[in-house]
Amino acid sequence: MAGFITQKIKKLYFKKWIIGVFRGDLEEIIRSKTFDPQIKWLWKRRFAKFYADPFILSSDENEIKVLIEEFPFKQDYGKLALMKLDKNFRQTGYKIILDTGSHLSYPFFYKEDGRTFVFPEAGQSGKFSCYEFNYSDEKLHFVKDILDVPLLDSTIIKRNGKYWIFGAIGANKQPYKLFIYYSDNLLGPYSAHPMNPVKADLDGSRPAGNMIEVDGVLYRPAQNCRNIYGESMTVNKIISFDETRFEEVPYMTISINKDNVNNKGVNTIHTINALNGVIVVDGIRWTFAPIMQIKSHLDNRKKEKRMKMASSGKQPG
């Protein structure tokens, strides 16, 4: 009975992803296997949208630019946005930089030859595509499709003269499968690794941010979705990889310290990136909001009814 009541109470909480930022040394976090920073969580009281998948585009003593996913609940798909913060992590600017009308997230970018290429997740499109960030209009412009594969949270690294794409495929609580592709050029063409999928697990497969090199060793952050989506991160230590081999082992867990007052209401974490001493993460915050949750439940019921009527060819009365 107590468990039933607990489940009902949980449904009265509004849950949304938010961005967190703090100053620190990500390499030292890896070395010490310790994660309990003083995170500043942004937009805790905004309920119309969630914000996730932060990547730091640039960071200096005056301004921090971060690429993120913005997900308006009414539109029900993600867009990519550019967020600007001052040195005290106060928002100074914000704009949508890409809206394709279908879901976008995880704005991974790679800088080369003075250009910034962004490779967002667009799994619903069935493709993995590249865009270029234009600094004059601060928007993304399509470059080309890289792979006809619905990769999730793809991350690219250059190693031993080749470019390596690490991306996942999976959904509906099935084990995420990690796929690797490699090429001599950033924009391809890419070849599939012969061991694909190189890994299949809900914990430790789906990428969770840029790879981290510490003392000559590569570490790959990955999501732990074993119990719930984005519960925590497993940082894998890469033992070896090339055109025929891939081996990694779990190294440490990054999770939210719920006893830290800065993290009040934040229960999960699933992306981490760093640049010039600034570290960004995201997490799900729970807010007790019964009226909003009831309204959301009724809206979802209406949406499901409309979808059923549309599929049967009936017109709403």
Query: Distance between CA atoms of 291 and 286, rounded to whole angstroms?
Result: 14
pLDDT of residue 287: 66
Q: Tens digits of per-residue pLDDT, 103-147? A: 999 999 999 999 999 999 998 899 999 999 999 999 999 999 999
Residue 114 tokens read as 């003075």
- Cα distances (Å, whole numbers) of residue 252 to 222, 223, 225, 281: 11, 12, 15, 16
Hey, is 279 helix, strand or coil?
strand
Q: Tens digits of per-residue pLDDT, 51-84? A: 999 999 999 999 999 999 999 988 989 999 999 9
pLDDT of residue 14: 65
Q: Is 101 left (phi over 0), alpha (psi -120 to 50) or beta?
A: left
pLDDT of residue 48: 82
Of the pLDDT bands very low, low, confident and very high (cuts 50, 70, 90), residue 317 is very low
Query: Distance between CA atoms of 113 and 129, rounded to whole angstroms?
Result: 19
DSSP letter for each residue of 91-118:
EEEEEEEE--SS--EEEEEEEETTEEEE
pLDDT of residue 74: 87
pLDDT of residue 268: 94
Q: Delimit the domains of the chain by residue range.
A: 14-286
**Global pTM value:** 0.89
pLDDT of residue 213: 97
Q: Tens digits of per-residue pLDDT, 249-273? A: 999 999 999 999 999 999 999 999 9
Which is nearest to 201 in space by CA: 250, 240, 238? 250
pLDDT of residue 315: 44
Of the pLDDT bands very low, low, confident and very high (cuts 50, 70, 90), residue 4 is very low
Of the pLDDT bands very low, low, confident and very high (cuts 50, 70, 90), residue 302 is low
pLDDT of residue 171: 80
Look at residue 3 and tell me whether its pLDDT is greater than 60.
Answer: no
Q: Tens digits of per-residue pLDDT, 148-161? A: 999 999 999 999 99
Please give the mean pLDDT across all residues of the chain. Answer: 89
- Better-scored residue on pLDDT, 174 or 199: 199
What is the four-CA torsion angle of 256, 262, 265, 271, rounded to 10 degrees?
-40
- Cα distances (Å, whole numbers) of residue 176 to 133, 156, 227, 248: 29, 18, 13, 16
CATH superfamily for 14-286 is Glycosyl hydrolase domain; family 43 (2.115.10.20)
